[in-house]
Amino acid sequence: MRVVIIGGTAGGAGIAARLRRLDESVEIVIIEKNPYISWAGCALPYFTGGLIAGRDSLFLADKEMFHRRFNIKVIDGTKAVGIDRNHKCVQVESAILPTKRTECIPYDKLVIATGAAALMPPFAKNVDGVFALRSIEDADHIKAYISEHGVKNAVVVGGGFIGLEACENLHHLGIKVTLVEKAPQVLTVVDPDIAHYLHRELDQHGVSLKLGIGIAGIERNEQGSFNVSLDNGQSVTTDIVIMALGIKPESGFLQGSGLQLNDRGYVVVKDTMQTCDRDIFALGDVVAVEGVPEDRLGTLALAGPASKQARVVASNVLMPSDSLDTELKHFAGSIGVSIVRVMSLTAGAVGANMRMLLAAGMNPLDIGVAMVHTPNHVSWFADAKPVNLKLLFNKHSGLILGAQAVGELSVDKNIEVISALMQKHGTVYDMVDFESAYAPPYSAPRSPVNMAGSTAANVVDGMEDTVTVDKLADFGLENTIFIDVRSKEEVAMGSIPHFINVPVDEMREYFTECPIDPSKNYVVTCQVGVRGHTAACILRALGATHVYNLTGGYVSWATAQYKLQNA
């Protein structure tokens, strides 16, 4: 059997190596448009910024190694331009030579692992000094341009993962950065209250944030730099522009093949990673997977899910074409675990955010929110750093729906713990029961996961309800009592409008003199929410029936109030 793989980066190379380990007899051919294969695309921003010094470290393997070790043929510098399904062959041309001569490479089974290309608006294409950051050539050109032109200022368009990594690495080079993002926040996989921390971090590092603003055009001025026009009428002058607007699947060569593409150009596959042609498979950034569970994602441009898809493809390619679905391996979908470093902070997310839950039609009243601000290890040990962790859960069942976190340390391990629990359809009670590895330098007897789980379990158990900062305005002053239960000294350093100060230790005496009105709402806050829970229990015991704890407390409110200095 002959297996042809179109695309030799992580997904394609991974499938090829896995296939060889499974079957020594199969003939394997990789077609790759670049003059190299198996390279680390995720390293490109850090290579551009000089944090990865050696260009050679970007390459994980080469065609000679694939031939010697795996007996795999690599045809590099060659691009696929079509598929003839009737004759089972891939039509290819040189991706390097100016003269084009179409050849056909036959296959028994075909794998499409072409990935995706950077989105570029028409006015940004083929402009020297305007770059994407998607390929090794992109990174090479950016490094050379910065060096040759003495770049001092940069505009990054797009506040997703690549845009944020570009900001950090340009800043590392001493370049003044302006970040333009059409959405009102960076990193839209997290909710606004988590994004606020990233806005503050970027702002305090001198990055000028243009949020809720799109780009309208790019023109070179008489001085040789660029005027970047924004859709609010403003203009930013810069030496270089990095476009990080997202990706589009590399599927153009499949037009007319009869394979099913969705309206965004993704190759539609079943969870067996088969297309509508059972002998043609696809994976990675080019696919949209149908048939995954409703709480999983079938389209996600991340290396982790692609590597899992590769194992599914490698197993199923070796099965007979008429195999039943029950005999094949299945991709379970992704819960969307992601993480990014932004200056000194790390932000991570797993599962759904609030926007995704509402878009899926979930009743807002069924969505519980718990925000905790807790040290990465015990506070009395040196250099404790806060972990700001937001949990979304079903108020009735306690099912974990998603989580987001931001902080300097241990964000990755806390998000990964919640990810592991979500993989097993865990609840907030599983978070309460989770046992962390405790020693003072590493964690606390109750980790951030435990703290968030306990806060959420209090809601599911009916001990309290929570309210988020953005929903405070929904409570009318005429029917709500707002109580800040921090000490007088804490309140003197800053407080939330309309909140009266009743320290938690004085609440019983206070409400003896000012009896509870059961018809009114009581909203309590403290510094981070822990004393607020105690206060909520006291209020309920004293007869209040509508009690809400401001989740995350004053810290969450103060973070949301931060005013950008470099906008």
Residue 562, token pair as written in the block: 């931060």
In this prediction, residue 92 has a pLDDT band, given cuts at 50, 70 and 90, of very high
User: What is the tally of structural domains in the chain?
Assistant: 4
Question: What pLDDT is recorded for position 218?
Answer: 94
Average pLDDT along the chain? 93
Structural domain includes residue 337: no
pLDDT reading at 467 higher than 90: yes
Question: Contact, 458 vs 464, CB < 8 A?
Answer: yes
What percent of the chain is modeled with pLDDT above 70?
100
Residues 416 and 467 in one domain: no
Mean predicted confidence (pLDDT) in 226-230: 95
Structural domain includes residue 332: no
Q: What is the pLDDT of residues 272-289, one digit of tens each?
A: 999 999 999 999 999 999
Mean predicted confidence (pLDDT) in 88-92: 96
Of the candidates 207, 97, 35, 112, which has an alpha carbon nearest to the alpha carbon of residue 565?
207
Q: Which helix (H) or strand (E) holds 155?
A: strand 153-157
In angstroms, the CA 94 to CA 345 distance is 44
Q: What is the pLDDT of residues 482-515, one digit of tens each?
A: 999 999 999 999 999 999 999 999 999 999 999 9
Residues 221 and 286 in one domain: no
Residue 211: partners with Cβ closer than 8 Å, 6 or more residues away = 159, 181, 183, 184, 185, 186, 199, 567
Residues 160 and 218 in one domain: yes
Question: What pLDDT is recorded for position 63?
Answer: 87
Residues 230 and 285 in one domain: no
Residues 80 and 39 in one domain: yes
What CATH number is associated with residue 91? Answer: 3.50.50.60
Structural domain includes residue 241: yes
Residues 237 and 262 in one domain: no
Residue 399 gets which letter from DSSP?
B
Residues 470 and 563 in one domain: yes
Structural domain includes residue 334: no
The answer to pTM > 0.85 is: yes
Of the candidates 297, 360, 308, 300, which has an alpha carbon nearest to the alpha carbon of residue 333?
297
Question: What pLDDT is recorded for position 383?
Answer: 87
Q: Is 248 exposed, middle or buried (0-12, 13-18, 19+ CB in 10 A)?
A: middle
Residues 241 and 252 in one domain: no
Mean predicted confidence (pLDDT) in 448-467: 94
Question: What pLDDT is recorded for position 282?
Answer: 96
Question: What pLDDT is recorded for position 291?
Answer: 80
Question: What pLDDT is recorded for position 394?
Answer: 97
Residues 528 and 467 in one domain: yes
Phi, psi for residue 308 in degrees, rounded to 5: -70, -40
Structural domain includes residue 524: yes
pLDDT reading at 298 higher than 80: no
Residues 109 and 130 in one domain: no
Q: What is the pLDDT of residues 384-409, one digit of tens each?
A: 889 999 999 999 999 999 999 999 99
Q: Which helix (H) or strand (E) holds 323?
A: none
Mean predicted confidence (pLDDT) in 360-387: 91
Mean predicted confidence (pLDDT) in 6-26: 92
In angstroms, the CA 406 to CA 390 distance is 9
Q: Is 232 exposed, middle or buried (0-12, 13-18, 19+ CB in 10 A)?
A: exposed
Mean predicted confidence (pLDDT) in 182-207: 96
Structural domain includes residue 284: yes
How far, in Å, are 106, 242, 271, 335, 478 from residue 299 at the CA level? 29, 25, 11, 11, 47
pLDDT reading at 325 higher than 90: no
Residues 128 and 239 in one domain: yes
pLDDT reading at 301 higher than 80: no
Range of the domain at 103: 2-116+248-327
Residue 450, token pair as written in the block: 């435990």
